[in-house]
């Protein structure tokens, strides 16, 4: 049986419109693309002046953190694909939910659902590497991640932040962002598929 989740410490900048109390949000369906907005042009770009909201799926079994097993690699997102560049204020909100272990929704544990890290490249090292995001960019943020479940190996890095419901300034040099669910073991995670939709992060610019 998995141990109960521990409390976390984080420096969090909350988005103006918060995530609901259950941690389960449904991304808005775009009009012809992956973003939202009155008259989307099919690329996720809103052409009416309303900030675009684009859904980025997050594999709940993958991570950018050190892990004990051959955990799948977290997929880096190219910031420019989401209309973001250094200096922009990027907002992130978890959508959906997942099971960190059988019968328990992550949103019921009191921990964040997802974390993120900016990087100057898409490079991600092997799971056993203590610092997998080779070009991670530090800033005025930090969320403390727990040691790995099986061996107790440290996983914490200085550059990541909570992405459950937060806004951050994209730092100079950043070209990519990585996401990971908040957990200490990943291969046993399952997507709750809330309303039939995969777990992920809604990305927008403020």
- Which ranges constitute the DSSP H helices of the chain? none
When pLDDT is cut at 50, 70 and 90, the band that residue 53 belongs to is low
Beta carbons within 8 Å of 20's beta carbon, 6+ residues apart: none
pLDDT for res 140: 77
Residue 80 sits at φ, ψ, to 5 deg, of -65, -25
Q: Is the pLDDT of residue 114 over 50?
A: yes
pLDDT for res 139: 80
Higher per-residue pLDDT: 53 or 74 = 74
- Where b means 16+ CB within 10 Å and e means fewer, 7-39 reads eeebebeebeeebeeebbbebeebeebbbbbee
pLDDT for res 141: 84
Burial of 49 (0-12, 13-18, 19+ CB in 10 A): exposed
The DSSP code for 35 is S
Mean pLDDT, rounded, for 200-205: 96
Report the percent of the chain where pLDDT is more than 70. 74
The DSSP code for 188 is T
pLDDT for res 78: 97
- What integer best gives the mean pLDDT of the chain? 81
- Angle at alpha carbon of residue 115, lines to 112 and 119, rounded to 5°: 170
**Residue 115: in which H helix or E strand, if any?**
strand 114-119
Q: Is the pLDDT of residue 63 over 90?
A: yes
Partners of 143 in the β-ladder: 10
Nearest to 32 by CA among 20, 24, 41: 41
Most confident of 10-14, 50-54, 170-174: 170-174
């Amino acid at each position: 049986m998995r141990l109960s989740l521990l409390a976390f410490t984080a420096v969090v900048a909350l988005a103006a419109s918060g995530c609901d109390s259950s941690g389960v949000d449904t991304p808005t369906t775009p009009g012809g693309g992956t973003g939202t907005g009155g008259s989307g042009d099919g690329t996720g770009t809103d052409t009416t002046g309303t900030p675009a909201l684009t859904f980025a799926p997050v594999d709940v079994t993958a991570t950018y953190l050190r892990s004990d097993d051959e955990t799948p690699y977290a997929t880096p997102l190219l910031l420019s694909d989401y209309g973001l560049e250094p200096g922009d204020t990027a907002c992130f909100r978890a959508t959906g939910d997942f099971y960190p272990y059988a019968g328990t929704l992550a949103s019921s544990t009191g921990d964040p659902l997802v974390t993120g890290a900016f990087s100057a490249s898409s490079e991600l090292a092997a799971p056993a590497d203590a610092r997998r995001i080779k070009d991670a960019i530090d800033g005025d943020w930090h969320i403390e991640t727990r040691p790995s479940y099986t061996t107790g190996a440290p996983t914490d890095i200085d550059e990541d932040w909570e992405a459950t419901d937060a806004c951050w300034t994209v730092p100079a040099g950043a070209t990519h962002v990585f996401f990971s669910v908040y957990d200490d073991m990943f291969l046993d995670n399952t997507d709750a598929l809330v309303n039939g939709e995969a777990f992920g992060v809604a990305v927008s610019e403020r």
